[in-house]
Amino acid sequence: MDMLKYIFTNKYFYIGGFALIVFGAVSLLMADTLFMPSYTNYNEGITVPDVTKVTMEEAGDLLTSYGLRFEINERRSNPGYPADYVLDQAPGASSIVKPNRKIYLTVNTEVKPTVEVPDVVDLNLRNAELQLQNYGLQVGSRSYESSRFKNVILRQSIPAGATVDKGTTVDLIVSDGLGERMVEVPDIVGLRLPEAQLELRRAGLNVGEVQFRPTRDIVPNTVLDYSPRQGSLREGETLTLVISERFEVEEESEGGAIIIDSTGTRPDSLNPSIPDSLNDQPNNNNQE
């Protein structure tokens, strides 16, 4: 306790603390104004030159002379320019960057990159387009032909496995969902719904809308009708089915007013369920 009292009452303790604070502040100020700017090249920038539309060798020499580095980021084929020609740069021309910054270049290549065409036959249209795009190919025209399965690829203009330039266009022939031949519509009235669907599928027809109709004497889920009612349809067409469902009996309310007498009992003359012969019988209780 005496030691602490001595320390806090000693003037040299406060002088030393003040000196330490001043030293820290001066060190921080020197680091901020002298050391850090020299380390980060603060207030020093270079305007990036335009190195597009020149050869790769010329671009490299120019960037080096500016104190910048460079790297080929991508090679792209463009028949309008010679090989090893700079097509693009990042950062772009006139950008302000720090010394020794790396500039990424896109350079033209004489040999076009090639890809192998994927097999998209029997795929749906959406998946076929995505797969062609993933391979770097372009989706061209889409023409339709008759076939049972709608939006399925029937043929492709370039066969699968062929090696083509990247960016080549592939045309697609797509199914319209309708066949070329006419098929007989099977008699499905009276069949249960799963059986009717199976018969239609075997005939090459599809089930579209299913409507339900309450019935009293027919087993639920039975085909009552269908449309269009034609003897034959084009393969792939759809039918609308009318299916039976359970008939829910609703209790009918009785009509007419019901009169209640003062004793809380209904007069016999107003109760049609009691025969007149019973109304005319003498009251045995009164005779007793």
Claim to verify: residue 143 and residue 171 sit in the same structural domain: yes
Tell me how far apart the alpha carbons of residues 89 and 59 are, in angstroms, rounded to a whole number.
10
pLDDT of amino acid 263:
40
Claim to verify: residue 9 and residue 28 sit in the same structural domain: yes
Tell me how far apart the alpha carbons of residues 147 and 179 are, in angstroms, rounded to a whole number.
4
pLDDT of amino acid 4:
63
Residue 252 covered by a domain: no
pLDDT of amino acid 37:
57
Residue 257 covered by a domain: no
pLDDT of amino acid 253:
44
Residue 171 covered by a domain: yes
Claim to verify: residue 104 and residue 119 sit in the same structural domain: no
Residue 15 covered by a domain: yes
Assign residue 76 the CATH number of its domain. 3.30.10.20
Number of folded domains that form the chain: 4
89 Cβ partners below 8 Å, 6+ apart? 48, 50, 51, 52, 59, 103, 104, 105, 106
The residue range of the domain holding 196 is 182-246
Residue 139 covered by a domain: yes
Residue 280 covered by a domain: no
pLDDT of amino acid 149:
76
Residue 77 covered by a domain: yes
Claim to verify: residue 241 and residue 186 sit in the same structural domain: yes
Among 57, 80, 108, which residue terminates a domain?
A: 108
Q: Residues of the chain whose pLDDT is less than 70?
A: 1-8, 10, 13, 31-43, 179-180, 249-288
pLDDT of amino acid 35:
61
Claim to verify: residue 103 and residue 158 sit in the same structural domain: no
User: For residue 233, how far is the Cα from the chain centroid?
Assistant: 35
Residue 271 covered by a domain: no
pLDDT of amino acid 254:
43
Q: What's the distance, Cα to Cα, between the start and end of the chain in Å?
A: 121
